[in-house]
Amino acid sequence: MVEPTRRNLDRAIEESIDLFSRAKVGTVAAVDPRRPETVLLALDGSSQDPFSIAVARHFHECFGCEVAVVDAREGDGPNDLAARVAQSLGRRAEPKTSGDSYEQILAAVEHSKCDLLIAPCPYGRDLEAVGPDSTGTVIDVLLARSPVPVLVVRKPYELQGNLFRQVVIILTVENEAASDAAAWAAGLIAPRAVLHLVLVLDREMYENIHALMQSIAPEMDVSIDSLSHALARNYMRLHRGLQKAAAEGGFEYKLNMQVEGEAGPIVAEDAPHPTLRVLALERSDHATQGSVQTRIRQSLHPVLVVCRQQFGESTQSEGT
C-alpha cells in the first residue's frame, strides 16, 4: 500500500507538470543552441584521457571548433603528452607552465581563449583507483574559478557512434545559470537524441521553509504542492523554449519533476553509453555549489557545469 505522503508528492508533481500545458506565458523564443568555438583539452595521463580525447575530436568534427591541449601534471616528469596528443588531433599544444595543476589549466584557459574546458575528474588519478566519490582539489578549484563551462569526464567510456544520445539538465531552485545550461545542452545533443529537463524539489529545502514559516506565521500552509507549483512556474518559459528548440533541432524533449531522493536517475549509471548531465552553477549560492559537487560525485557519466558568472563577466567587459 502506498503511503498517503507518497501519494500527495506524486499528485503534486503531476499537477505541477500539468501547469506547463495549461499556462499562458506569451511568446517564447526557442532556446538558442550554444556550441564551442575553441575547446581546451586538459590531460593528466590517467585512464580518463582516451575518452576525453575522443570527446574533443568529436566536437572538432561535428562543430568545426578549434582544439587546444594542455598537460597540467605537476613535477619534472615527461611533459610531451600534450604535444603528442595535439599532433594526433592536428591541433596545437599549450605551453607548459609552472604551479599547481589547476593554476596551469586556468592559465591555458586564458591563453587559448577557449569557451569550453574538458578535464578528467578526479584530475591526476584513475577513477577506478580512487572511486567515484572523489572529485579532487583540481576540479573543485576549476568549478570555483573557471571563466568557461567545465565538462568533467568520469568513467572512461569507449566512444561508439554519436556522442550524447541522452542529455539530462538537472535544476533545483531558481537558478540564473539555467538558460545558459539549457543552451549548451541543446547545442551538444546528438541528432534525434533525447533531452530531459529534470526539475528537482529539494526535500530539505521544503522542510526548512516549512519550519521557518510555522515559527513566523503558523496559520500559513507551505505545502509540497505550493513549492512544486512555484518551481514549475520558475521554469515555464525555459520549458517552452526547449520544446521549440527540440522541434527545430530534430531531437526529442521530455519534462520530468522529482522530489529529491524519491526517484532514481533518468538514465542508469551503468548504461552502456555516456549520458551528458548538465548542471547550472551559481557560485554565490552555497546550496547550488553543494548540489553540483554531490551530483558529480554520484555520477559516472560526463557532467557539464555551466556558470552564469562567465557570461555576465564577458558581456560586461564588452560593453565597457
What SS3 state is found at 261? coil
Which residues, listed in sequence order, are joined to residue 39 by a DSSP beta bridge?
Answer: 67, 116
Q: Which grid cell sits at 11?
A: 499528485
The confidence score (pLDDT) of residue 56 equals: 94
CB atoms within 10 A of CB 3: 8
Q: Which three cell numbers stand for residue 18?
A: 500539468
Find out whether 310 and 302 touch, Cβ atoms under 8 Å.
Answer: no
How confident is the model at residue 35, as a pLDDT? 96
Rounded-to-10 torsion of CA 258, 261, 263, 264: 120
- Residue 132 per-residue DSSP state: T
pTM: predicted TM-score of the whole model, two decimal places = 0.81
- Per-residue confidence (pLDDT) for residue 78, from 0 to 100: 59
Domain 1-26+160-320 matching CATH 3.40.50.620: the answer reads yes
**Structure confidence by residue, pLDDT tens digits, 79-106:** 678 988 998 888 889 988 889 999 999 9
Distance (Å, whole) CA 245 – CA 195: 10
DSSP 122: S
Determine which helix (DSSP H) or strand (DSSP E) holds 103, and give its type and residue range: helix 101-112
Residue type, 95: P
Provide CB contacts within 8 A for 215, sequence distance 6+.
Answer: none
pLDDT of residue 312: 39
CB contact at 8 A, 68 and 39: yes
Residues carrying CATH 3.40.50.620, the chain: 1-26+160-320, 31-158
The one-letter code for the residue type at 165 is R
pLDDT at residue 319 in the model: 36
The CATH number for 31-158, chosen from 3.40.50.620, 3.40.50.2020, 1.10.645.10, 1.10.1060.10, is: 3.40.50.620
The predicted-structure confidence for 125-163, as pLDDT tens digits, reads as follows 887 777 667 788 999 999 999 999 999 999 888 877 778
Beta strand 166-171 with 194-201: parallel, antiparallel or unpaired?
parallel
Q: Helix (H, G, I), strand (E, B), or coil: what is residue 237?
A: helix
- Walk along the chain (320 residues) and give the pLDDT tens digit of each residue: 445 555 554 555 555 555 445 555 567 899 999 999 999 999 999 999 999 999 999 999 999 999 999 999 887 665 678 988 998 888 889 988 889 999 999 999 999 999 999 999 989 888 777 766 778 899 999 999 999 999 999 988 887 777 899 999 998 767 889 999 999 999 999 999 999 998 887 666 555 544 544 555 565 554 555 545 555 567 888 988 999 999 999 999 998 877 766 556 677 677 778 899 999 998 877 777 888 888 898 888 999 999 975 443 433 333 33
